[in-house]
Structure 1
Amino acid sequence: MSSLHSNGVDVKKSDPTKINGNAHSINGTNPKPFKIFIGYDPREDVAYEVCRYSLLKRSSIPLEVTPIKQSELRKQCLYWRERGKLESTEFSFSRFLTPHLANYEGWAMFVDCDFLYLGDIKELRDMVDDKYALMCVQHDYTPKETTKMDGAVQTVYPRKNWSSMVLYNCGHPKNKALSPEVVNSESGAFLHRFMWLEDEEIGEVPFLWNFLVGHNKVVEGDPATFPKAIHYTLGGPWFEAWKDCEFGDLWLKELEECKKAKEKQFFSVKIGQRCSLQNHLMLYRIVGSLIVRILPA
């Protein structure tokens, strides 16, 4: 069953209470969680929360979702480069630590926090091909705007937005080049254009998985154009200037669901703690009663 939202996007209904790891087992064994790293910026904490929620809500496979927080990476001595004037987010460069953070093993995904997932991430994960070092949506995109988000400078460069959502074949020999030393020293051009790779080592996935608001278009009546993941690349409803942007209603609806899920989780924890305390008190009373009976008068 599905419900048609505004902008013509058909969004599958899912259980909003489903938590990470509730996928079916394969041949009696639990599959390893698919690792997803989300770029985190304190200014966009709510965007991160909604992105994470939308991924977990619709996933039919177990996920391991981790925020890439610059402050934590600095404490771990994994990130030490100074922030440049053209870096619009804290994860402009730290995103390229994804293979390292995944221990250079298996496939993992990096995604910007300004995404809203409408499709099951299993569909995307199932597209991976080991012959590639990475896979992404290969946009032909040149933004017309000079600023984005909360006034950040809009930069234009080849392969713009390719690095905003990447499936990394972390065990591929070529990705060993993405060491912390390289990520902290190489230029933006080298990293964002994937210059450590040959063109044939970069695979492609459909644009539906990195649907750029303001650039890609939904064709009415054509499901092949309905986004699986909406990318609010210019700015999303969490910024006042972009509260009425295209597909903003979908993000705001997801935000409300996310808030309710968090409240439900909070009260479940509180109830669990209260029950645990009551059980301990009951145990103390029983033990105390037994001691009184055993000890001589």
Structure 2
Amino acid sequence: MHDSVVRVFVGYDRRIHVASSTLAHSITEHSSLPVSVLPLNLRNLKDVFWRDTDPNQSTEFSFSRFLTPYLSGFTGWSIFMDNDIVFLDDIAKLWALRDDRYAVMCVKHDHNPTSDTKFLGEKQTRYEKKNWSSVMLFNNAKCQALTPEYVNSATGLQLHQFKWLDNDDLIGEVPASWNYLAGYTTGVEQPQAIHYTDGGPWYPETEHTEYASEWFKAFKSANLCEVADLQTLLDMTARSLKDAD
């Protein structure tokens, strides 16, 4: 794929499809370049992802994200991002930060969660480089250690702490505005991508999280329809499902 097309892989979890679809819309709505958005749905990855669920993983894509370079044919650049994100700015600006000196680029958070649990009651784990892997720009040719065999056998810390690289000098840094952690990040006047790391506005427990209104705006925009408003569509869907029963 030509580098004028922004290649994006998005984490997908069947429990919260709405997050991935809203993220994809927010990316394409703001982009000034063509964008390819590919959800990492485990149903589509059975030939390359076979590892058992880890008790510490909180999403279905905790490990499958590291297949991004392999799925890109180890060529060009690709971006991976968690699904609980909404874009407020042009992803072409993030794409323009690619630097061939590095194998991977990310926001180098110093993230210390305040709670022992997060969305859906999942366990909150703490480790060095936490949330670095939630938005990654992969220079795919320099990430050939991430074969399906390695991704399916490596420990969580080996993957998320970038132990598959020869050294940390191969990790480039992008501004924190591109992975703004709602409720945690400070010193950023204008976030360009909001990451609802403790739980998105779609959960009742976190519906008033920082920048929740930005996600609801994107959700509403993603579901606009000239025929009917969202509530009418939901009512129509409910009636249709009832009739089908």
RMSD over aligned CA atoms reads 1.5
**1:58 aligned onto 2:30:** yes
**1:206 aligned onto 2:175:** yes
Post-superposition offset of 1:225: 2.2
Cα distance 1:262–1:171, how it changes in 2: closer, same or farther (>3 A)? farther
SS at match of 2:19: helix
Aligned residue in 2 for 1:73: 45
Post-superposition offset of 1:31: 6.3
Aligned residue in 1 for 2:206: 242
Counterpart of 2:118 (choices 141, 144, 148) is: 148
Cα distance 1:82–1:127, how it changes in 2: closer, same or farther (>3 A)? same
Post-superposition offset of 1:217: 3.0
SS at match of 1:254: helix
Gaps of 5+ in 1: 1-29, 219-223, 265-297
Aligned residue in 1 for 2:103: 133
Residue-by-residue CA offset, 1:68-94 (whole Å, 9 max, x unaligned):
0112101xx100000011110000000
For the residues of structure 2 that align with 1:164 and 1:132, how far apart are their CA atoms?
Answer: 17
Q: Identity across aligned pairs (percent)?
A: 43
The answer to whether the Cα contact below 8 Å between 2:58 and 2:123 also exists between their aligned partners in 1 is yes
Give the number of aligned pairs: 226
Cα distance 1:262–1:126, how it changes in 2: closer, same or farther (>3 A)? farther
The answer to whether the Cα contact below 8 Å between 1:209 and 1:229 also exists between their aligned partners in 2 is yes
Q: TM-score, normalised by structure 2?
A: 0.89
Larger of the two Rg values belongs to structure: 1
For the residues of structure 2 that align with 1:92 and 1:251, how far apart are their CA atoms?
Answer: 22
Aligned residue in 1 for 2:12: 40
Cα distance 1:81–1:128, how it changes in 2: closer, same or farther (>3 A)? same
Post-superposition offset of 1:231: 0.2
The answer to whether the Cα contact below 8 Å between 1:150 and 1:241 also exists between their aligned partners in 2 is no
Residue-by-residue CA offset, 1:242-268 (whole Å, 9 max, x unaligned):
11111111111111111006979xxxx
For the residues of structure 1 that align with 2:63 and 2:151, how far apart are their CA atoms?
Answer: 7
SS at match of 2:45: helix
**1:257 aligned onto 2:221:** yes
SS at match of 1:153: coil
Aligned residue in 1 for 2:158: 190
Greater shift, 239-248 or 45-54, is seen at: 239-248
Within-5 A mapping of 1:79-158: 79-158=49-128
Cα distance 1:44–1:55, how it changes in 2: closer, same or farther (>3 A)? same
Cα distance 1:262–1:216, how it changes in 2: closer, same or farther (>3 A)? farther
Cα distance 1:58–1:112, how it changes in 2: closer, same or farther (>3 A)? same
The answer to whether the Cα contact below 8 Å between 2:80 and 2:137 also exists between their aligned partners in 1 is yes
Q: TM-score, normalised by structure 1?
A: 0.74
The answer to whether the Cα contact below 8 Å between 1:35 and 1:64 also exists between their aligned partners in 2 is yes
For the residues of structure 1 that align with 2:226 and 2:181, how far apart are their CA atoms?
Answer: 28
